[in-house]
Amino acid sequence: MPDPIPFARPFTGREEEEAVLRVLRSGWLTTGQEALALEAEFAAFLSAGPEPRDPPLRCLAVNSATSGLHLALEALGVGPGDAVFLPSYTFTSTAEVVRYLGAEAVFVDIAPDSYNISGAALEEALAGAGKTPRPKAVVPVHIGGLPCDMEEICGIARRYGLAVVEDAAHAFPARVGKAAPGTADKGPWAGTCGDAGVFSFYATKTITTGEGGMVVSRNKELAERVSIMRSHGIDRTIWNRYTDTKASWYYEVIAPGYKYNLPDLLAAVGRVQLSRAVELLRMRESIAERYDQAFGGMEDLVIPPPGGARHLYTIRLRNSARRDGFIEELKRLGIGTSVHFIPLHIMPYYRDRYGLRPDAYPETLRRFRETLSLPIWPGMSAGQVNRVIDAVRSVLKT
């Protein structure tokens, strides 16, 4: 049998290798100039085009999206007695950070026609919410890089006085909404619509530093708090202490912060990946196009909607009873797959803490049972894409 095709594989090359060597040889490995440059270049990427320039988008590099979500919610003052609304259909990071802060996670079902949080279900949850825990924030998740309806979510958040932190771990780069008819104008970037947005640079993500992430916000105070709390609650960055004319040894701790900074070794890789983000997206898009052509007319499965960052290519089997066997069959044929996501409300911790039954979120449960994600990574050869297509077809026939 030919080599197995992994579910995901990072796309890095000579430039990333040279970037790592440059940093290794520079004598400065931790957070410094490279991280600052990555932040500036990330802000420039998300600010090119019709985006508002004022207030400017601030970007803060962190060591994971999980850390970034934690920092963003902390900066918004989320704490014990607060409720944070989020989909059950997400990775555990989205909810665990709420618990780090002593707040409660309130799950919301997804919309029947998408993988994303349902505005109607959010509104219903808010209307039925009591005073304790107090509704404080909502964390929409752009699943697979397909943006949520941010106009709707932000509208609901405004009506109920909630902060919005976008979990954009999958969504770099993705435009929210459709182009207005007759124009090329597109909506804003996913991650820039709420009070803060958080991107992931984890190894399987659309651009990667191995581990890493970016918090973005137009809120100056929020960004300043994130900046301080990502390095121990110290009021000066290490780089500032190194380069500033003030005494380098002196600093003040203004809060018990965290150790969430992104080292230059990784930031340098991120800069190369960012510089080819559009090229990487096109590669993912062309694989998705091939899958769409191959699977679009099949009765037994549903292909994902077009658009977004194409982080995942998630298909749905009409006969959900076949899903687990389908994954096994593909594995036997050397095709790696994954399931996005096992809902959080059926995970022992959340199930038991909140006394949740599996059918509490029916759309979430139904989607989970139907779906599997196929390999979609830049660098997949045409032959590998064809092998995935042939394997899916042959398993469907059995």
Contacts of 331 (CB under 8 A, 6+ apart): 337
Q: Which is nearer to ligand PLP, 119 or 212 (CB)?
A: 212
Which of 243, 209, 249 is closest to 39 using CA atoms?
209
- Told to check if 202 binds ligand PLP by CB under 6 A, we report yes
* Separation CA 227–CA 214 (nearest Å): 11
If binding means CB under 6 A, how many residues of this protein chain bind ligand PLP?
14
Q: Which is nearer to ligand PLP, 371 or 395 (CB)?
A: 371
Stretch binding ligand PLP (CB under 6 A), from 85-93, 186-194, 295-303, 317-325: 85-93
Burial of 366 (0-12, 13-18, 19+ CB in 10 A): middle
Is there binding between residue 94 and ligand PLP (CB under 6 A)?
A: yes
Q: Which two tokens stand for residue 272?
A: 């190369």
Binding mask 25-54 for ligand PLP (x = CB under 6 A): ------------------------------
Out of 31, 93, 206, 337, which residue is the one contacting ligand PLP (CB under 6 A)? 93
- Across the beta sheet with 371-374, the strand order is 301-302, 313-317, 371-374
Place of tokens 């000066």: 236
CA 229/CA 231 separation, integer angstroms: 5
- Name which of 170 and 323 has its Cβ closer to ligand PLP: 170
**CA-based R_g, the chain, Å:** 21
Residue 93 or 273: the one with the smaller Cβ distance to ligand PLP is 93
CB of 201 to ligand PLP, least distance (A): 7
Say if CB 38 and CB 267 are below 8 A apart: yes
Taking the least distance from each CB to ligand PLP, the nearer of 280 and 385 is 280
Q: Binding string to ligand PLP for residues 135 to 174, with x set by CB under 6 A, is what?
A: ------x-------------------------x-xx----
Taking the C-alpha atoms of residue 111 and residue 294, their distance in angstroms, rounded to an integer, is 26
Q: Which of 7, 89, 91, 239 binds ligand PLP (CB under 6 A)?
A: 91
Applying CB under 6 A, does 66 fall inside the site for ligand PLP?
A: yes
Q: Is 65 in the site for ligand PLP (CB under 6 A)?
A: yes
The single residue of 131, 178, 205, 246 carrying the catalytic annotation is 205
Q: How far is the CB of 60 from ligand PLP (least distance, A)?
A: 14
Taking CA atoms, 264 is separated from 39, 62, 68, 372, 398, in Å, by 11, 11, 17, 36, 51
Residue 339 sits at the vertex; the CA angle it makes with 336 and 344, to the nearest 5 degrees, is 150
Told to check if 200 binds ligand PLP by CB under 6 A, we report yes
Q: Which residues, at least 6 apart from 314, have a Cβ–Cβ distance to it below 8 Å?
A: 115, 144, 304, 340, 371, 372, 373, 374
Q: Contacting ligand PLP (CB under 6 A), which of 187, 188, 213, 378?
A: 213
What is the nearest approach in angstroms of ligand PLP to the Cβ of residue 383? 28
Instruction: Note the Cα 131 to chain centre separation in Å.
Output: 30
Q: Does residue 205 carry a catalytic annotation? A: yes
Closest CB 277 distance from ligand PLP, rounded Å: 16
CB of 94 to ligand PLP, least distance (A): 5
Distances in Å between the alpha carbon of 195 and those of 160, 284, 354, 357, 384? 15, 29, 27, 32, 41
**Minimum distance, C-beta of residue 200 to ligand PLP, in the bound complex (Å):** 3
> What is the binding site for ligand PLP (CB under 6 A)?
64-66, 90-91, 93-94, 141, 167, 169-170, 200, 202, 213
Active site residues: 205
